[in-house]
A and B are shown apart, each in its own frame.
Chain A
Amino acid sequence: SAVISQKPSRDICQRGTSLTIQCQVDSQVTMMFWYRQQPGQSLTLIATANQGSEATYESGFVIDKFPISRPNLTFSTLTVSNMSPEDSSIYLCSVAGLAAEQYFGPGTRLTVT
Protein backbone atom coordinates (compact mmCIF):
# COMPACT_ATOMS: atom_id res chain seq x y z
CA SER A 1 0.00 0.00 0.00
CA ALA A 2 1.06 3.59 -0.56
CA VAL A 3 1.64 6.21 2.12
CA ILE A 4 0.16 9.58 1.26
CA SER A 5 0.63 12.95 2.91
CA GLN A 6 -1.26 16.17 2.32
CA LYS A 7 -0.48 19.79 3.08
CA PRO A 8 -1.95 21.76 4.70
CA SER A 9 -3.94 19.57 7.07
CA ARG A 10 -6.39 22.41 7.62
CA ASP A 11 -6.82 26.05 6.73
CA ILE A 12 -9.24 28.90 7.20
CA CYS A 13 -9.46 31.15 4.17
CA GLN A 14 -11.31 34.27 3.20
CA ARG A 15 -13.91 34.32 0.48
CA GLY A 16 -12.50 35.17 -2.94
CA THR A 17 -9.02 33.82 -2.28
CA SER A 18 -7.42 30.58 -3.53
CA LEU A 19 -5.79 27.67 -1.73
CA THR A 20 -3.42 25.08 -3.17
CA ILE A 21 -3.41 21.65 -1.57
CA GLN A 22 -0.42 19.39 -2.02
CA CYS A 23 -0.45 15.59 -2.17
CA GLN A 24 2.76 13.57 -1.87
CA VAL A 25 3.02 9.78 -2.34
CA ASP A 26 5.89 7.61 -1.14
CA SER A 27 6.03 5.62 -4.38
CA GLN A 28 5.45 6.21 -8.08
CA VAL A 29 1.82 5.84 -9.08
CA THR A 30 0.04 6.33 -12.36
CA MET A 31 -3.42 7.34 -11.24
CA MET A 32 -4.21 9.92 -8.58
CA PHE A 33 -7.63 11.17 -7.61
CA TRP A 34 -9.02 14.21 -5.84
CA TYR A 35 -12.21 13.99 -3.79
CA ARG A 36 -14.36 16.37 -1.80
CA GLN A 37 -16.24 15.37 1.35
CA GLN A 38 -18.73 17.98 2.45
CA PRO A 39 -20.03 17.96 6.03
CA GLY A 40 -22.22 14.92 6.63
CA GLN A 41 -21.82 13.75 3.06
CA SER A 42 -19.86 11.04 1.35
CA LEU A 43 -16.89 11.42 -0.92
CA THR A 44 -17.43 12.96 -4.33
CA LEU A 45 -14.81 12.53 -7.04
CA ILE A 46 -13.58 15.86 -8.40
CA ALA A 47 -11.07 14.68 -10.98
CA THR A 48 -8.57 12.04 -12.02
CA ALA A 49 -4.99 13.23 -12.45
CA ASN A 50 -2.58 11.19 -14.55
CA GLN A 51 1.00 12.26 -15.03
CA GLY A 52 1.67 13.72 -18.43
CA SER A 53 -1.92 14.44 -19.35
CA GLU A 54 -4.68 16.88 -18.50
CA ALA A 55 -6.81 16.03 -15.51
CA THR A 56 -10.23 14.54 -16.23
CA TYR A 57 -13.01 16.32 -14.34
CA GLU A 58 -16.30 14.84 -13.19
CA SER A 59 -19.64 16.40 -13.92
CA GLY A 60 -20.12 19.55 -11.88
CA PHE A 61 -16.42 20.32 -11.50
CA VAL A 62 -14.46 22.58 -13.86
CA ILE A 63 -10.80 23.29 -14.40
CA ASP A 64 -11.12 27.03 -13.80
CA LYS A 65 -12.43 26.40 -10.30
CA PHE A 66 -10.26 23.37 -9.43
CA PRO A 67 -7.03 23.47 -11.45
CA ILE A 68 -4.86 20.41 -10.91
CA SER A 69 -1.20 19.83 -11.57
CA ARG A 70 0.58 16.47 -11.82
CA PRO A 71 4.23 17.24 -12.50
CA ASN A 72 5.55 13.75 -11.69
CA LEU A 73 4.52 10.30 -10.52
CA THR A 74 4.67 11.10 -6.79
CA PHE A 75 3.09 14.54 -6.50
CA SER A 76 -0.06 16.47 -7.34
CA THR A 77 -1.72 19.72 -6.37
CA LEU A 78 -5.34 20.82 -6.31
CA THR A 79 -6.18 24.51 -6.19
CA VAL A 80 -9.55 25.71 -4.96
CA SER A 81 -10.01 29.06 -6.69
CA ASN A 82 -12.10 32.10 -5.87
CA MET A 83 -13.45 30.39 -2.77
CA SER A 84 -16.90 30.79 -1.30
CA PRO A 85 -18.32 29.35 1.94
CA GLU A 86 -19.84 26.51 -0.15
CA ASP A 87 -16.29 25.28 -0.78
CA SER A 88 -15.86 24.52 2.92
CA SER A 89 -15.14 20.84 2.90
CA ILE A 90 -12.53 18.15 3.39
CA TYR A 91 -10.40 17.58 0.29
CA LEU A 92 -8.74 14.21 -0.11
CA CYS A 93 -6.30 12.79 -2.59
CA SER A 94 -5.96 9.10 -3.29
CA VAL A 95 -3.97 6.73 -5.47
CA ALA A 96 -5.01 3.52 -7.18
CA GLY A 97 -3.54 0.24 -6.01
CA LEU A 98 -2.81 -2.83 -8.10
CA ALA A 99 -6.28 -4.31 -7.67
CA ALA A 100 -8.21 -1.05 -8.17
CA GLU A 101 -8.41 -0.33 -4.46
CA GLN A 102 -7.55 3.22 -3.42
CA TYR A 103 -5.29 4.60 -0.71
CA PHE A 104 -6.21 7.96 0.72
CA GLY A 105 -4.34 10.82 2.25
CA PRO A 106 -5.43 12.24 5.62
CA GLY A 107 -7.37 15.06 4.00
CA THR A 108 -7.27 18.85 4.11
CA ARG A 109 -10.04 20.51 6.10
CA LEU A 110 -10.91 23.82 4.47
CA THR A 111 -13.11 26.46 6.05
CA VAL A 112 -14.05 29.52 3.99
CA THR A 113 -15.29 32.56 5.87
Chain B
Amino acid sequence: SQKIEQNSEALNIQEGKTATLTCNYTNYSPAYLQWYRQDPGRGPVFLLLIRENEKEKRKERLKVTFDTTLKQSLFHITASQPADSATYLCALDGPGAGSYQLTFGKGTKLSVIP
Protein backbone atom coordinates (compact mmCIF):
# COMPACT_ATOMS: atom_id res chain seq x y z
CA SER B 1 0.00 0.00 0.00
CA GLN B 2 1.06 3.59 -0.49
CA LYS B 3 2.88 5.37 2.31
CA ILE B 4 2.61 9.16 2.41
CA GLU B 5 4.58 11.58 4.57
CA GLN B 6 3.81 15.24 4.89
CA ASN B 7 6.81 17.19 6.07
CA SER B 8 5.57 18.39 9.39
CA GLU B 9 2.50 18.24 11.51
CA ALA B 10 2.48 21.99 12.02
CA LEU B 11 3.94 24.97 10.20
CA ASN B 12 3.84 28.58 11.41
CA ILE B 13 4.62 31.42 9.04
CA GLN B 14 4.28 35.19 9.00
CA GLU B 15 1.54 36.80 6.98
CA GLY B 16 2.72 37.77 3.49
CA LYS B 17 5.36 35.03 3.29
CA THR B 18 5.22 31.95 1.10
CA ALA B 19 4.23 28.71 2.79
CA THR B 20 5.76 25.54 1.37
CA LEU B 21 4.33 22.15 2.31
CA THR B 22 5.88 18.84 1.32
CA CYS B 23 4.32 15.51 0.44
CA ASN B 24 6.52 12.44 -0.06
CA TYR B 25 5.38 8.98 -1.08
CA THR B 26 7.30 5.73 -1.01
CA ASN B 27 5.71 3.07 -3.16
CA TYR B 28 4.11 3.05 -6.59
CA SER B 29 3.95 6.22 -8.67
CA PRO B 30 0.41 7.60 -8.77
CA ALA B 31 -1.29 8.77 -11.93
CA TYR B 32 -2.18 11.98 -10.12
CA LEU B 33 -1.74 13.74 -6.82
CA GLN B 34 -4.23 16.02 -5.13
CA TRP B 35 -4.18 18.66 -2.42
CA TYR B 36 -7.09 19.39 -0.08
CA ARG B 37 -7.76 21.93 2.63
CA GLN B 38 -9.54 20.90 5.83
CA ASP B 39 -10.86 23.31 8.43
CA PRO B 40 -11.77 22.12 11.95
CA GLY B 41 -15.11 20.31 12.03
CA ARG B 42 -15.45 20.27 8.26
CA GLY B 43 -14.84 17.88 5.40
CA PRO B 44 -11.82 18.34 3.11
CA VAL B 45 -12.13 20.80 0.24
CA PHE B 46 -10.45 20.02 -3.09
CA LEU B 47 -7.79 22.54 -4.15
CA LEU B 48 -5.60 21.22 -6.95
CA LEU B 49 -4.88 18.06 -8.92
CA ILE B 50 -1.62 17.45 -10.78
CA ARG B 51 -1.00 14.52 -13.13
CA GLU B 52 2.15 12.45 -13.37
CA ASN B 53 3.13 14.06 -16.69
CA GLU B 54 2.74 17.60 -15.32
CA LYS B 55 5.55 19.37 -13.50
CA GLU B 56 3.63 22.31 -12.13
CA LYS B 57 0.09 23.57 -11.69
CA ARG B 58 -1.11 26.98 -10.51
CA LYS B 59 -4.38 28.38 -9.25
CA GLU B 60 -4.41 31.95 -8.00
CA ARG B 61 -1.96 32.07 -5.05
CA LEU B 62 -1.50 28.29 -5.04
CA LYS B 63 1.21 26.35 -6.84
CA VAL B 64 1.83 22.61 -6.87
CA THR B 65 4.85 20.79 -8.24
CA PHE B 66 5.18 17.05 -8.84
CA ASP B 67 8.53 15.27 -9.12
CA THR B 68 8.02 11.57 -9.84
CA THR B 69 11.76 10.91 -9.64
CA LEU B 70 11.98 12.28 -6.10
CA LYS B 71 8.48 10.93 -5.33
CA GLN B 72 7.59 14.32 -3.97
CA SER B 73 5.07 17.12 -4.35
CA LEU B 74 5.49 20.65 -3.07
CA PHE B 75 2.50 22.87 -2.31
CA HIS B 76 3.09 26.63 -2.16
CA ILE B 77 0.82 29.39 -0.92
CA THR B 78 2.20 32.78 -1.87
CA ALA B 79 1.37 36.02 -0.04
CA SER B 80 -0.15 33.96 2.76
CA GLN B 81 -3.04 35.35 4.79
CA PRO B 82 -4.45 34.40 8.19
CA ALA B 83 -7.48 32.99 6.31
CA ASP B 84 -5.13 30.38 4.81
CA SER B 85 -4.72 28.83 8.26
CA ALA B 86 -6.00 25.25 8.00
CA THR B 87 -4.80 21.67 7.67
CA TYR B 88 -3.61 20.75 4.18
CA LEU B 89 -3.79 17.15 3.02
CA CYS B 90 -2.16 15.51 0.06
CA ALA B 91 -3.77 12.47 -1.53
CA LEU B 92 -2.67 9.95 -4.13
CA ASP B 93 -4.72 7.65 -6.32
CA GLY B 94 -4.16 4.03 -7.20
CA PRO B 95 -2.69 1.66 -7.64
CA GLY B 96 -3.96 0.82 -11.06
CA ALA B 97 -4.96 3.01 -13.96
CA GLY B 98 -8.26 4.78 -13.53
CA SER B 99 -8.39 4.15 -9.80
CA TYR B 100 -10.46 6.66 -7.87
CA GLN B 101 -9.44 5.32 -4.50
CA LEU B 102 -7.40 7.92 -2.64
CA THR B 103 -4.79 7.48 0.07
CA PHE B 104 -4.40 10.57 2.24
CA GLY B 105 -1.45 11.87 4.18
CA LYS B 106 -1.90 12.97 7.79
CA GLY B 107 -1.79 16.61 6.83
CA THR B 108 0.16 19.71 7.77
CA LYS B 109 -1.53 22.26 10.02
CA LEU B 110 -0.63 25.69 8.71
CA SER B 111 -0.92 28.76 10.92
CA VAL B 112 -0.42 32.16 9.31
CA ILE B 113 0.46 34.73 11.94
CA PRO B 114 -0.68 38.32 11.35
Asked if A101 is at the interface of the complex by the 8 Å CB criterion, the answer is yes
Binds A, one of B12-20, B62-70, B103-111: B103-111
Please determine whether A31 and B43 come into contact, CB atoms closer than 8 angstroms.
no
CB distance from A107 to the nearest CB of B (A): 5
Asked if A53 is at the interface of the complex by the 8 Å CB criterion, the answer is no
Please determine whether B107 and A106 come into contact, CB atoms closer than 8 angstroms.
no
Asked if B26 is at the interface of the complex by the 8 Å CB criterion, the answer is no
Asked if B27 is at the interface of the complex by the 8 Å CB criterion, the answer is no
Q: Which of A2-21 contact B (CB under 8 A)?
A: 4
Rounded to whole angstroms, the CA-CA distance of A31 and B104 in the bound complex is: 18
Q: Which of A74-104 contact B (CB under 8 A)?
A: 92, 94, 96-97, 99-104
Asked if B49 is at the interface of the complex by the 8 Å CB criterion, the answer is yes
- How many residues on chain B are close to A (CB under 8 Å)? 21
Please determine whether B89 and A92 come into contact, CB atoms closer than 8 angstroms.
no
CB distance from B41 to the nearest CB of A (A): 8
Contact of B105 among A1, A31, A42, A101 (CB under 8 A): A42
Rounded to whole angstroms, the CA-CA distance of A4 and B103 in the bound complex is: 21
Contact of B46 among A31, A44, A48, A102 (CB under 8 A): A102
CB distance from B3 to the nearest CB of A (A): 12
Chain A residues with Cβ under 8 A from B100's Cβ?
A: 31, 33, 48, 96, 100, 102
Please determine whether A42 and B89 come into contact, CB atoms closer than 8 angstroms.
yes
Asked if B32 is at the interface of the complex by the 8 Å CB criterion, the answer is yes
**B interface residues (Cβ-Cβ under 8 A, vs A):** 1, 32, 34, 41-46, 49, 89, 91, 93, 100-107
Beyond A43-B102, A97-B46, A107-B43, 20 additional pairs, beta carbon < 8 A: A1-B46, A4-B43, A31-B100, A33-B100, A42-B105, A43-B91, A48-B100, A48-B101, A58-B101, A92-B44, A94-B43, A96-B100, A100-B32, A100-B49, A100-B93, A102-B100, A102-B102, A104-B44, A104-B45, A106-B41
